[in-house]
Amino acid sequence: KLSTRLDTVASFVEEGATLADIGSDHAYLPCHLVKLGRIQKAIAGEVVKGPYESAVKNVRKKGLSDEITVRLANGLEAIHESDGVDTITIAGMGGPLIASILSNGHEKLQNVKRIITQPNIHASSIREWAVQNGWKIIDEEILKEDHKIYEIIVLEQGHAQYDDLEMMVGPYLLDRKSNVFIEKWTRESDEWKRVLGSLENAGNTNEIIEKKEQLQKKINLIGGVLSN
């Protein structure tokens, strides 16, 4: 059985999609979707030998070698033009790493319809990448599993604008303000306040003043949300 985190990522993959799961590790996500019959064909890409081998083994064990091609490759290099990939999932990495994988492989994205990302940290770097590269957010999810909070951002081609608060916390998540969302941002905001407090007596170099201003700005932005 898939984790709730991966199951939620999977739920955004459309029926009949041709999927590339980048950083697939054990290839649980494509295996799950093919076994469900939701998709018929997938690529599992891995850059590290150990996880790549575990993906190959797992796909073979489940008898899915005809449907799932596992490739040892860096980022979107796992995708070949003839694959006809229309959906990409990248889960379980930091937001900046996911954004750099998308940037480095941007020529592979031309015919891609949907990108589903699950950044472990710094989800805002994915929103920034999207805005700068002609993708828009079509949905988001936030969930808690084993005391960890995860965000999922779903992108499709198009243009959209978001204000600073939406870029930070996500336009759809902000709109819904779920309990998990409130918990996450209360935690973050408490941490920023703690750091800000610890900088009170840290001197007055430009660097420290700038850092304090940044923290205060974020505290103010989220404060408006949490006080409602």
Instruction: Kindly list the residues in this chain that would bind ligand SAM in the complex (CB under 6 A).
Output: 6, 22-25, 45-48, 51, 74-75, 91-93, 101
Toward ligand SAM, which CB reaches closer, 118 or 189?
118
Residues 96/98/99/102 CA torsion (nearest 10 deg): 160
Q: How far is the CB of 34 from ligand SAM (least distance, A)?
A: 16
Minimum Å gap between C-beta 6 and ligand SAM is 6
> Measured from the CB of residue 33, what is the shortest distance to ligand SAM in angstroms?
13
Cβ proximity to ligand SAM: between 42 and 91 the closer is 91
Rg for the chain (alpha carbons), in Å? 19
Which burial class, exposed, middle or buried, applies to 130 when counting CB atoms under 10 A from its CB (0-12, 13-18, 19+)?
Answer: buried
| CA torsion through residues 215, 220, 221, 222, sign | positive
Q: Write the DSSP string, 113-142.
A: -EEEEEESS-THHHHHHHHHTTEEEEEEEE
Q: In the complex, what is the shortest distance from the CB of residue 123 to ligand SAM, in angstroms, rounded to a whole number? A: 14
DSSP three-state, residue 68: strand
Residue placing its CB nearer to ligand SAM in the complex, 46 or 166: 46
Tell me how far, at minimum, the Cβ of 189 lies from ligand SAM, in Å: 27
* Residue with smaller CB distance to ligand SAM, 25 or 151: 25
Nearer to ligand SAM, 5 or 218 (CB): 5
How far from 162 is each of 3, 5, 93, 114, 166, CA to CA, in Å?
Answer: 31, 26, 23, 19, 6
The CB-side HSE value for 47 (13 A sphere, CA atoms) comes to 9
Measured from the CB of residue 88, what is the shortest distance to ligand SAM in angstroms?
A: 12
Nearer to ligand SAM, 23 or 170 (CB): 23
